[in-house]
Amino acid sequence: AKSHYQFNLRDASKVFQGILMVSVKRIESIRDFAAVWYHELRRVFGDRLINDEDSQWLDDLIKSKVSKLGVTAEEVFTQKILCVDFIGSGDKEYELVRDVGSLKPLVEDFLGEYNADSKQPMYLAMFMD
């Protein structure tokens, strides 16, 4: 047993909280729901894992359970799965990112706006991990 991993019901509730933050109108299919579910599990539990072996174990577990939702892992995990709240204009709706490639220019635009208004510019290194 790995006693340094301590999880409780509060962690499980964070997964449900994240899922419930996504508007029903943004979930177009079971595949979308499974992707949001995966994202929240990875953020709540996966971000606390300390090595690649444990991270792979979590991914394998999630992928083995996703079939119970009526979709295959191949259908769900076609690209990097992310949920964010800064894609649309206006209301900050938490949603599944449909095109991961569109995030970099969007974040660069936000960074440009910030740096234009700031006396101390910020430099970011973005990576997909």
Prediction pTM value: 0.84
Work out the average pLDDT over 33-61: 94
What is the sign of the dihedral through the CA atoms of 32, 38, 91 and 120? negative
Of 52-56, 66-70, 76-80, minimum mean pLDDT range: 76-80
Question: Which of the following CATH numbers is that of domain 9-80: 1.20.210.10, 1.20.920.30, 3.40.30.10, 3.40.50.720?
Answer: 1.20.920.30
What is residue 126's predicted lDDT score, i.e. its pLDDT? 79
> Has residue 3 got a pLDDT over 80?
no
> Has residue 47 got a pLDDT over 80?
yes
- Residue 66 makes CB contacts below 8 A (sequence gap 6+) with 34, 37, 38, 72, 73, 76
Please name every residue paired with 83 in a beta bridge, in sequence order, or none if there are none: 96
Name the nearest CA neighbour of 26 among 94, 100, 99: 94
Confidence of residue 129 (pLDDT cuts 50, 70, 90): low
